[in-house]
Amino acid sequence: MDGPNVNWKFLELLQQEHREQFGGTQLIVVGSCGLHTLHNACKHGFSIWKLEKVLRALHILFHNAPARREDFTALTKCTKFPLPFCGNRWLENLPVVERALEFWPSVTMYMDAVRKKKLPNPGTTSYDTLEVAEKDPLILAKLHFYMAITRTFSPFLTFYQTDVLVIPFLAKDLAELMKSMLRRFVKKEVLKDISSLQLVRLDVSDKQSWVNLKEVNMGLGAESLLKVFFHL
């Protein structure tokens, strides 16, 4: 997936060709690649938790390490291993985080065996990263929240990555997608009957428009884990 600057340059050259061959005719410009914007927005939001380090470490620890895999499988009876994390397609890592959550109980069992010296310590940066992550009591809630967000975007990304003419539906679908995200933390009355123009101009940093902290929608998985953690 090329960067936005490459795409803009390609469009400029394409427009020039159209002008020369079709009497000044120009293509309709609908903006830069929205996929880049969405992926970068997701990256900006989740990188503060360094989830990419954890997801990469899960994959790297057992990638091209047959002896380690054999020890792991013999201990946990788990034959599935983590998938590689893609750093420039954050919203398309849904299978990666799903596998990570499925894999997490097994990897904690493996690390416990290493601490008890039942298995050799890998002595790698990826293992150290997972040890730090394991000490974070909210790591699973964070991964579940990330999974919930990627699931929200998945249908939109699938529908609009096509050669079919779908531009006429983009504005409405994008507005609905934004509303579905904002409903997680913005009061219902603020979003009620809001127009697309008002939606774009909405100041999401205004705390007066936020719901109570306990009412923030983080997804069922994350909320269930937090209730257990805080004994709610």
Q: What is the pLDDT of residues 56-85, one digit of tens each?
A: 999 999 999 999 999 999 999 999 999 999
**pLDDT computed for residue 26 by the predictor:** 84
> Which pTM does this prediction carry?
0.85
Tens-place pLDDT, residues 137-191: 999 999 999 999 999 999 998 898 888 988 889 889 989 999 999 999 999 999 9
Task: Determine contact, residues 183/194, Cβ cutoff 8 Å.
Answer: no
Measured distance CA(54)–CA(50) in Å, rounded: 7
Question: How far apart (Å, rounded) are the C-alpha atoms in residues 52 and 39?
Answer: 13
Q: Which pLDDT score, from 0 to 100, does residue 170 have?
A: 87
Are 184 and 211 contacting, i.e. CB atoms less than 8 angstroms apart?
Answer: no
Alpha-carbon gap, residue 186 to 217, rounded angstroms: 10
Amino acid at 108: T
At residue 2, does pLDDT exceed 80? Answer: no
pLDDT at 149: 95
Q: What are the backbone dihedrals phi and psi of residue 24, each rounded to the nearest 5 degrees, phi first?
A: 85, 5
For the chain, how big is the Rg over CA atoms in Å? 22
Q: What's the pLDDT score for residue 88?
A: 84
Secondary structure element (H or E) that encloses residue 228, with its range: helix 220-229
In a 3-state reduction of DSSP, which class is residue 3?
coil
First to last CA, the chain: 44
In terms of Cβ atoms closer than 10 Å to its own Cβ (0-12, 13-18, 19+), residue 97 is buried
Structure tokens at 17: 């060709």
> What tokens does 108 get?
């904690």
